Amino acid sequence: MERRALIAGATGLVGGELVKLLLSRSDYRKVTVLVRTRINLAHPRLEQLVINYDELGMLPAEKVAGADVYCALGTTRKKAGSKEQFERVDYVYPLELGRLAATHEAERMLVITAMGSDEKSPFFYSRVKGRLERELQALPLKRLHIFRPSLITGDRKEYRFAERLAAKLAERMPFLFKGPMSPYKPNPARQIAEAMLAAAIGREAQPGMIPSGEIAQLAARLRNSSS
């Protein structure tokens, strides 16, 4: 079967790694990215669809049907500017994409939420992520993989103190993330992208929740299978 990938959030930290990873391999005959403005990247298997995410429902059915739908959309309240705009990016758009994936019978949907996602959480961020998880799970999707990473590290354009600190601690004092603290070890963006691909093309991960530790394991399996 010739696979097709559809990626939302392709210009973000994980999404960018996902695009590079998928284009560096031959698992997909076409990789379609949803972007607000075209990105400076050309590849024979890359298709760029310039869209307004507020009009996501107008996406042609043939772009979704039978595809592996990757959702790497995400922001922060500070970057979004308001609770409402944060919720739009981290809840409204991913849920609408999930509805399209269900309606047009995508092969699978793979989405990133966060460790601690819980719609009953006292923290707004975790509540939004938890509500997204619940509503996606209620959709008639063929297969749904929900990735719950710890802090996501990588080369961001903006400075995030907590992520920089966690990355340095993991590098210089790895013993801090042993035993009971292992679930809190940061997940590099490339690692999450590798885990998402591993879940899509392999049989290692069953649909459902994929916590931070399993993300690292899936990524390692993908790298080992490619070496």
**The model's pTM:** 0.89
Placement of tokens 């990473």 in the chain: 149
- Residue 65, burial from CB neighbour count under 10 angstroms (0-12, 13-18, 19+): middle
pLDDT along the chain (227 residues), means of 10: 92 96 96 96 96 95 97 89 94 98 98 96 95 98 96 70 53 53 78 96 84 93 84
What's residue 225's pLDDT? 86
What is the structure's pLDDT at 99?
Answer: 98
Alpha-carbon distance 44 to 88, whole Å? Answer: 32
Task: Give the HSE-up count for residue 1: Cα atoms under 13 Å, Cβ half-sphere.
Answer: 8
Mention every residue, 6+ apart, whose C-beta is less than 8 A from residue 2: 29
Tokens for 26?
Answer: 């031959």
Which DSSP helix (H) or strand (E) runs through 190?
Answer: helix 189-201
User: pLDDT at position 67, please?
Assistant: 98
Name the token pair of 17. Answer: 């790694």
DSSP symbol at 146: E
Exposed e or buried b for every residue in 106-127, given b needs 16+ CB within 10 A? bbbbbbbbbbebeeeeeeebbb
Q: How does DSSP assign 93-135, residue by residue?
A: HHHHHHHHHHHTT-SEEEEE--TT--TT-SSHHHHHHHHHHHH
Superfamily of domain 3-226: NAD(P)-binding Rossmann-like Domain (3.40.50.720)
Q: pLDDT at position 226, please?
A: 76
Q: What is the predicted pLDDT for the residue at 108?
A: 97
Question: Which candidate, 80, 182, 92, 166, places its Cα nearest to that of 128?
Answer: 92
Q: What is the DSSP letter of 60?
A: -
